[in-house]
């Protein structure tokens, strides 16, 4: 089995032959169909997010169950599945109170399986970890059965892969934000993979204004195809002033930061009107902090909240985005702009670094 490993950060991925143990109790073996090239993997490669190494990266993927371990009844060999990058233990305080995306045990065990061990070894016999217990940049993976969400045959693997991270995160962040309603005014910061689906979430919820903000004119044009009603190029104009001008001086009711940085968080909060809600979904570099105008926060009764993995159970969001996709209300195939074999995965990340539109996908 071949997988794309990160051995040092900052660094590039290396393709290596790995020894893979079969699924243990509660686990499955999945043959990968497609995997998305996501900024969260790139952060780890750059060292701005940290994972133990060596580690197979990749957390946005879909594939076919090939074998199941003892006690697995939720999926069977042959099932095609979206993979959730938080698989959820089912018994911790977070899982039991309806927030499986925040699973404590998952966070505690990290890139190891739930029993604390690994399923991969390199040629020297040393342990190899799997990002999010998955590591979808590999021909096959062994991971928790509860990561699997079965999908019908008509859903292509490329779209299913994206549903595992960028679609669920972008759509869920908007759909599950407190107080969203038809006719709301929205600004979305960042027109990357997550941002495009936040724009679509706002469109599906019938927002009256969907202002896309990015520093790339080409990404903004691309976002218009997915429902952005207005575009603000923050490389040539102040996004806060531009958003105010577009909303009659009011500011927006909701601002979603899908990029993740002190600058975009501050701009998102500053662009809100009274009672506005800023939802932060993008992961900023480790240790980053944002300055917030505290008088403005109180006097205008603004709210700033974080949103992880769409703020809901990933399986619940997968069901929603799948239904919307199948009836043509959510565009996912159109987001895929580039395809690579596993051997060319670093090309995929080079395109992401260049800021190319839409998503790159590894096809197995
Ligand atoms: Zn991702
Ligand atoms: Zn849990």
Q: Determine contact, residues 279/256, Cβ cutoff 8 Å.
A: yes
Question: Which ligand has the minimum distance to the alpha carbon of residue 95?
Answer: 2
Distance CA 108, CA 200 (A): 33
Ligand 2 center to 259 CA (angstroms):
27
Ligand 1 center to 162 CA (angstroms):
8
The number of beta carbons lying within 10 Å of the beta carbon of residue 337 is: 13
Q: Which residues surround ligand 1, an ion (CB under 5 A)?
A: 38, 40, 60, 165
Name the token pair of 37. Answer: 């090239």
Task: Please give the mean pLDDT across all residues of the chain.
Answer: 97
Strand pairing partners for 15? 4
Distance CA 303, CA 281 (A): 14
Per-residue model confidence as pLDDT tens digits over 307-355: 999 999 999 999 999 999 999 999 999 999 999 999 999 999 999 999 9
pLDDT band at 222 (very low <50, low <70, confident <90, very high): very high
The bridge status of strand 272-280 relative to strand 303-306 is parallel
Name the token pair of 293. Answer: 């105008």
The pLDDT value recorded for residue 39 is 94
* pLDDT above 90: percentage of residues in the chain: 99
Per-residue model confidence as pLDDT tens digits over 8-35: 999 999 999 999 999 999 999 999 999 9
Question: Which ligand has the minimum distance to the alpha carbon of residue 38?
Answer: 1
Question: Which ligand has the minimum distance to the alpha carbon of residue 37?
Answer: 1
Strand pairing partners for 133? none
Ligand 2 center to 76 CA (angstroms):
23
The pLDDT value recorded for residue 1 is 95
Residue identified by tokens 């799948």 is 322
The bridge status of strand 14-17 relative to strand 2-6 is antiparallel
Which domains are present in the chain? 2-166+312-363 (3.90.180.10), 177-306 (3.40.50.720)
pLDDT band at 363 (very low <50, low <70, confident <90, very high): very high
The pLDDT value recorded for residue 29 is 98
Per-residue model confidence as pLDDT tens digits over 93-110: 999 999 999 999 999 999
Ligand 1 center to 165 CA (angstroms):
5
Per-residue model confidence as pLDDT tens digits over 54-91: 999 999 999 999 999 999 999 999 999 999 999 999 99
Four-point Cα dihedral 246, 248, 254, 256, nearest 10:
20
pLDDT band at 171 (very low <50, low <70, confident <90, very high): very high
Q: Determine contact, residues 110/52, Cβ cutoff 8 Å.
A: yes
State pTM to two decimals.
Answer: 0.96
Question: Which ligand has the minimum distance to the alpha carbon of residue 193?
Answer: 1
- The mean pLDDT of 226-246, rounded to a whole number, is 98
The pLDDT value recorded for residue 219 is 96
The pLDDT value recorded for residue 24 is 98
Ligand 1 center to 193 CA (angstroms):
8
Of 316, 307, 322, nearest to 102 by C-alpha is 307
The pLDDT value recorded for residue 144 is 98
Ligand 1 center to 266 CA (angstroms):
23
* pLDDT above 70: percentage of residues in the chain: 100
Name the token pair of 9. Answer: 């950060």
Per-residue model confidence as pLDDT tens digits over 107-158: 999 999 999 999 999 999 999 999 999 999 999 999 999 999 999 999 999 9
For residue 74, how far is the Cα from the chain centroid?
A: 24
DSSP 283: P
For residue 290, how far is the Cα from the chain centroid?
A: 22
């Amino acid at each position: 089995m071949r997988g794309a490993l990160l051995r040092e950060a900052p660094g590039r991925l290396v393709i290596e032959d790995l020894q893979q143990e079969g699924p243990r109790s509660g686990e499955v073996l999945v043959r990968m169909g497609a995997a998305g090239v996501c900024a969260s993997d790139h952060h780890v490669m750059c060292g701005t997010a940290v994972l133990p190494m060596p580690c197979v990266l990749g957390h946005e993927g879909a594939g076919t169950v090939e074998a199941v371990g003892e006690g697995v009844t939720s999926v069977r060999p042959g099932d095609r599945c979206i993979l959730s990058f938080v698989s959820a233990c089912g018994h911790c305080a977070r899982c039991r109170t309806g927030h499986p995306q925040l699973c404590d045990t998952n966070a505690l065990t990290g890139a190891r399986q739930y029993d604390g061990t690994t399923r991969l070894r390199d040629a020297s016999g040393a342990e190899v970890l799997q990002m999010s217990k998955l590591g979808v940049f590999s021909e096959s993976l062994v991971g928790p059965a509860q990561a699997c969400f079965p999908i019908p045959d008509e859903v292509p693997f490329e779209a299913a892969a994206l549903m595992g991270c960028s679609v669920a995160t972008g759509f869920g962040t908007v759909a599950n934000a407190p107080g969203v309603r038809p006719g709301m005014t929205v600004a979305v910061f960042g027109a990357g993979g997550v941002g495009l689906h936040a724009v679509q979430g706002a469109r599906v919820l019938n927002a009256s204004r969907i202002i896309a903000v990015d520093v790339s004119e080409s990404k903004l044009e691309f976002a218009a195809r997915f429902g952005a009603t207005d575009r603000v190029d923050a490389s040539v104009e102040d996004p806060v002033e531009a958003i105010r001008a577009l909303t009659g001086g009011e500011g927006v009711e909701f601002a979603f930061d899908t990029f993740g940085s002190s600058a975009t968080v501050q701009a998102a909060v500053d662009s809100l009107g009274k009672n506005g809600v800023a939802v932060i979904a993008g992961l900023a570099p480790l240790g980053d902090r944002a300055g917030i105008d505290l008088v403005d926060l109180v006097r205008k009764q603004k709210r700033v909240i974080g949103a992880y993995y769409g703020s809901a159970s990933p399986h619940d969001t997968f069901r929603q985005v799948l239904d919307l996709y199948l009836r043509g209300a959510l565009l996912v195939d159109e987001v895929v702009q580039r395809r690579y074999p596993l051997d060319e995965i670093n090309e995929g990340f080079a395109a992401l670094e260049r800021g190319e539109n839409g998503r790159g996908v590894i096809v197995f």
